Amino acid sequence: SGDPRGGDEDVVLIGVSLPLTGDFSEPGKGVQRGYEAWVESVNRDGGLLGRRVELKILDDQSAADRVVQDYEALIALHEVDLVFGPFSTRLVIPSARVAEEYGMLFVEPAGAANEVFEQGFENLFYAAPAIANDHYDHLADHILSLPEDERPQTVAVASMDDPFAQATAYGLRDRLREGGLEIVVDEEYPPNTTDFSSIAAKINASGADMVVGGTQYQDAVNIIVQLQQLDYQPKLAAFSTAPTNPEFSAAIGSRTEGIVSPTGYTPDAPFPSNVEFVELYQEMFGTPPAEDEANAFTTGQVVAAAVEAVGCAEQGECQERLVDWLHENEVETIVGPLSWDGQGRPEGAHLIQQYVDGEIRIVLPGETREAEFLYPKPEW
């Protein structure tokens, strides 16, 4: 413990609360690595406003009451200069309120669902290219652009009862339905579900051409295994979040081929800061960064841009100036230039990735693709 400030005025102390344990611990740790990489990169370049940057990370155990107490402690007890957002929509809303009521700028890497932007927060910014409902836009465009007889005709949807997961799956579902596809299964399950066999049985029985999972991580693995156990072979399988996780392919084994997932980030993106980021990240952690890591890094970049532009980083009136600056300016990041509407929504879309030859590659949209879109997907 011990106050890391230690009266040291040359440090910019940044407070974060993350779900390092509990339901969201997997992505939570990814976000942590992203933040750490950003701190490393900033400090190598001489810090913020010439001051060294330090992180103060608390664990909220994926619990809303904790996340609030954590930000309370960060702001009031540890007197951090800046805060970064936590992971998961569920946790972003309550913590954003704390920040709001202390008048702090709140840039966050994970609260992508629409609800986040409907709370009337004025200090909140989502540091990623698109909100959850738009994640699958490119996939929907592509499917609907296929000739009628090649398209999948029926779709099965299963989503975790979680604002983010639902937003991704339902964004796609609604667009496909509008495009004339038939939704034959539309299931929802609570976050603590462990038995997916019935859902899988239902999807299997529907014989849907395409399966869409509004998933976090483990639920996707489970649904896929259960579907495999039933020998269900769709033409297209899309799951949010999970497939981009580095553990995913190990968990599913060799049977990932053709699985599709949206991502806001690719390590191969050509933006200059991204090249640096990937290199640094490789050096620090030995693997290429994934989406959560990148979003966290982006968060850091966004805040840094504001701080450098406004020239201050402390609690109080400075925060207002940071907020105002971000509302009026565009920031260059590892996921490209970002700008926000009045509620903090970014205005972009996600890329679509797919496992091709055992590697996860960008397949959509056409201009950024690294591999051909595999359709129909091979058997798993």
Partner 1 sequence: MPGWVRPAALAVGVALVLLFPELVPNAYVLSAGVIVASYACTATAWSFMGGFTGYVSLGHAAFFGMGAYGTGILIRDLSLQPFLAWLLSGLIVLVITIPVGIAALRVRGASFVIVSISFVLILLLVSQAWEAFTGGANGLNVPRPFADLYRPDHHRIFFYLFVALLAVMLLTWWVIDRSRFGAGLKAVREDEDKAEALGVPTRDYKLAAYLISATFTALAGGMYALWFGDLDPIFQFSILLGAYMVLMALLGGVRHLFGPLVGAVVVGSALEYFKLEFGDTQLHLVFTAILLGIVVLFMPDGVIPAAGALLRRFGPQDTSIREITAEELLERNRAAAEREGAAAGRGGGKPSDGSGETP
Partner 2 sequence: MDGTLLFQSLVLGVLLGGLYAILAAGLTLYFGVMRVVMIAHAAFVILAAYLAWWFHRETGLDPLFSMVLTVPLFFVIGVLIQRVLITRLRPATLTMMSVLLTFAIALLIEGLLGLFWSGTQRRVQLSYSGDNFEFFGARIAVVKLIAFGLAVLSLALLFLLMKKTRFGLALRATIQHREAAQLVGIRTDWVAGIGFGIGLATAAIGGTALSLDATIYPSLHWSWIGPLMAIIVVGGLGSIPGTAIAALVLGVGQSLLQVELGTTWAQTLFYVALFLTLMLRPQGFFGGRLAQRF
Tell whether residue 350 is a contact of partner 1 (CB under 8 A): no
Binding string to partner 1 for residues 10 to 39, with x set by CB under 8 A, is what? Answer: ----------xx------------------
Residues ≥6 apart with Cβ < 8 Å to 308: 48, 49
Cα distances (angstroms) measured from residue 142 to each of 66, 148, 151, 351, 363: 42, 12, 10, 12, 10
Count of beta carbons in the 10 Å neighbourhood of residue 176? 23
Count of beta carbons in the 10 Å neighbourhood of residue 352? 26
Tell whether residue 59 is a contact of partner 1 (CB under 8 A): yes
Tell whether residue 60 is a contact of partner 1 (CB under 8 A): yes
When the beta carbons of 86 and 336 are compared against partner 1, the nearer one is 86
Strands (E), 115-257: 124-126, 154-160, 182-189, 210-214, 236-239
Tell whether residue 320 is a contact of partner 1 (CB under 8 A): no
When the beta carbons of 90 and 350 are compared against partner 1, the nearer one is 90
When the beta carbons of 143 and 223 are compared against partner 1, the nearer one is 223
C-alpha closest to that of 351 among 137, 105, 170, 81: 137
Tell whether residue 153 is a contact of partner 1 (CB under 8 A): no
Smallest gap from residue 78 Cβ to partner 1 (A): 8
219 with 189: CB under 8 angstroms?
A: yes
**Partner from partner 1, partner 2, none binding residue 75, C-beta < 5-8 Å depending on class:** partner 1
**Partner from partner 2, partner 1, none binding residue 225, C-beta < 5-8 Å depending on class:** partner 2
Q: How far apart are CA 216 and CA 159, in angstroms?
A: 9
3-class secondary structure, 261? strand
- Please pick, from the candidates 36, 81, 162, 293, the single residue that binds partner 1 as defined by CB under 8 A: 162
When the beta carbons of 224 and 313 are compared against partner 2, the nearer one is 224
**Partner from partner 1, partner 2, none binding residue 102, C-beta < 5-8 Å depending on class:** partner 1
Q: How far apart are CA 145 and CA 340, in angstroms?
A: 29
What's the distance, Cα to Cα, between the start and end of the chain in Å?
A: 49
When the beta carbons of 81 and 209 are compared against partner 1, the nearer one is 81
182-189 vs 359-364, strand pairing mode: unpaired
**What is the per-residue DSSP string for 198-230?**
HHHHHHHHHT-SEEEEE--SHHHHHHHHHHHHT
Q: Which residues are near partner 2 by CB under 8 A? A: 20-23, 25-26, 29, 61-62, 161, 187-190, 192-195, 197-199, 201-202, 204-205, 217-218, 221-222, 225, 228-231, 250-251, 253, 255, 380
Place of tokens 């540091």: 127
Smallest gap from residue 161 Cβ to partner 1 (A): 4
Tell whether residue 75 is a contact of partner 1 (CB under 8 A): yes
Footprint on this chain of partner 1 (rule: CB under 8 A): 1, 20-21, 57-61, 63-66, 68-70, 72-73, 75-77, 90, 93-94, 97-98, 101-102, 113, 115, 119, 161-163, 190-192
